[in-house]
Amino acid sequence: MAKPRSVLFVTPECAPFAHVGGLGDVAAALPAALAREGVDARIVLPRYGSIPTTAMKRHREPLGIPLGGREAWSAVFESKLPGADVPVYFLDHMALFGRDYVYAAPGGVFPRDAVTRAAFLSRGALQLSKHLGWIPDVVHVHDWPAALAPVYLNALESDSASPLARTASVLTIHNLAHQGIFAPESFRETGLSPDLLREDGLAHRGRLDLLQGGLYGATMLTTVSPRYASEIRTFEGGEGLDHVLRFRGADLVGILNGIDDRAWNPATDPFIAARYDARALAGKAACKTALQREMRLAQRTDVPLVGIVTRLTAQKGSDVVARALDRILAEDVQMVVLGSGEVDLEEFFRVRSLLGGDRFRMVRGYDEALSHRIEAGADLFLMPSRFEPCGLNQMYSQRYGTLPVVRATGGLDDTVEQCDERTGEGTGFKLWDLTPDSLAATVAWAVRVYRDEPALFRAMQRRAMQKEFGWEKAAQRYAEVYDWAALRKRGSR
């Protein structure tokens, strides 16, 4: 039996066209890595108002997409993923997507037509492949906005007369906290039979839960780290869907995200003051001095510099960092925070920065270049997330020889090895209890190793920098999942 050779990615985000978080990186990097392995990978996403179409190919025929009680018409634009042989299709519908945001308007309010938008993308992806006469072995859908595609496949395309009858589906959960929960009345917009609005379908506690529909409907499920895959099967980590994930437990696989190891490479990074690698770390000291100068911190080489780059939210444990800040700064350390997010947290750190003398600095906002300079210039990187499906910054940190101090949760636990002072092993420092005491104590431990055991600290830096975080391994794992899904769909397993 031939291995799956064609995959259609259905996604609300894809860098650089539409990029909000980690999903946007995955939806670009994974198809590119699959294409390098010889898979015919293609991507479909909505044409948001912020995406210019002037340089794109426009398909001649419009695409009809049946929705609840009506047919929506879409123009189809086509482009390519930069630097890869991967076609990207954009479904264009001005009334639904001619706005600049991806999920919710500024302020976090979902649009009234959120369900229609999700139905349009999911059903539109299937219509598109029939329209193109290109029938993928697998549709790989991402998060709740695309989670209806497996439901449509099962409900409308399973008849042997449908060209999609043998197409399997894989749903990836990037963050279970986002499920696409809406009023049950909006189910009408999907055009699906009302009997699917049941508790082992699309209804969850009387509301419409789009992600849950996909969790029941997809041939296989994945999430972005093995540890998160087991956490979401528990009451504590299941966000109300742990029973569904236990029910589908045998079909749920955790695959770690890779990182873009060309953009995040201290040996070639154009954003940083000096280049370095695991064999020659002198450049890292120059990066630290440059960062201290830029942040107006005291220019000392002997003081450990702790960096944070984050959304300032409870998910990232930023509130606990705020509560632990005085205790952390009681040590002889310097600290730099780059982030934006919840207003109270922004203000807390801004005020501390103003009053923090030459030891604490906060920069509010989103600044990619500065995030590279912090990764390169810091000695330690703090990321005490409450939950973390995968996380990227702890991987960037290790690549840059900046030892992460993390909470042992989700992808953080999977990608950071605990420091062991007896054996000299490890690539970072982990805490378990998310309390100010535990956080401050773990930072104090890392500071002590930095100061009193420089040979161990240096060995940990080298080991961290030599770890593999690229996409190749992940792409191979996904190819295996596609293989299982295709076999199962065709009834061989």
Q: Map the footprint of ligand ADP across residues 396-415, applying CB under 6 A.
A: none
CB of 126 or CB of 405, closer to ligand ADP: 405
Count of residues of this chain found to bind ligand ADP when the rule CB under 6 A is applied: 16
Residues 219 and 168 sit within 8 Å (Cβ to Cβ): yes
Least separation in angstroms between residue 471's CB and ligand ADP is 15
CA distances (Å), origin 45, targets 12, 90, 288, 303, 355: 6, 5, 41, 47, 46
Out of 368, 420, 433, 480, name the contact with ligand ADP by CB under 6 A.
Answer: 368
**Shortest distance, position 145 Cβ to ligand ADP, whole Å:** 16
Task: Report helix, strand or coil for 8.
Answer: strand
Give 338 or 440: the residue with its C-beta nearer to ligand ADP: 338
- For ligand ADP, the closer of residues 200 and 368 by Cβ is 368
Determine contact, residues 74/42, Cβ cutoff 8 Å. no
Tokens of 32: 């590119």
Contact residue for ligand ADP among 277, 367, 425, 453 (CB under 6 A)? 367
Crossing angle between the packed helical segments 343-355 and 318-329, to the nearest 10 degrees: 20
386 binding ligand ADP? (CB under 6 A): no
Residue 266, helix vs strand vs coil:
coil
Among 366, 420, 432, 452, binds ligand ADP (CB under 6 A): 366
Q: Does 339 bind ligand ADP (CB under 6 A)?
A: yes
Residue among 134, 125, 65 nearest 95 (CA): 65
Pick the stretch among 135-143, 212-220, 362-370, 443-451 that binds ligand ADP (CB under 6 A).
362-370
Joined tokens for residue 34: 């699959």
Please give the Cα distance from 305 to 296 (Å, whole number).
13
Helix (H, G, I), strand (E, B) or coil at 475: helix
Shortest separation between residue 79's beta carbon and ligand ADP, angstroms: 23
Report the residue from 21, 111, 226, 249 that binds ligand ADP according to the rule CB under 6 A: 21
Cβ distance 150 to 139 under 8 Å?
yes
Residue choice 56, 320, 338, 479 for contact with ligand ADP (CB under 6 A): 338
By rule CB under 6 A, what string of x and - marks binding of each residue 55-94 to ligand ADP? ----------------------------------------
Between 102 and 338, whose beta carbon lies closer to ligand ADP?
Answer: 338
Binding string, 294-313, against ligand ADP, x = CB under 6 A? ---------------xxx--
- Report in angstroms how near the CB of residue 20 gets to ligand ADP at its nearest: 8
What is the rounded CA–CA span in Å between residue 224 and residue 170?
13
Which amino acid is residue 388, in one-letter code?
A: E
Check if the beta carbon of residue 149 is closer than 8 Å to that of residue 11. Answer: no
* 172 is a contact residue toward ligand ADP (CB under 6 A): no
Alpha-carbon gap, residue 60 to 55, rounded angstroms: 15
Tokens of 138: 């697998």
**Angstrom distance (rounded) from CA 150 to CA 126:** 10
To the nearest whole angstrom, how small is the minimum distance from the Cβ of residue 393 to ligand ADP? 5
Tell me the three state secondary structure of residue 203.
Answer: strand
Among 129, 393, 397, 415, binds ligand ADP (CB under 6 A): 393
Contact between 392 and ligand ADP (CB under 6 A)? Answer: yes
Is 420 one of the binding residues for ligand ADP (CB under 6 A)? no
* Antiparallel, parallel or unpaired: β 63-67 and 70-80: antiparallel
Task: Give the interface with ligand ADP as residue ranges (CB under 6 A).
Answer: 21-22, 309-311, 338-340, 366-368, 371, 390-393
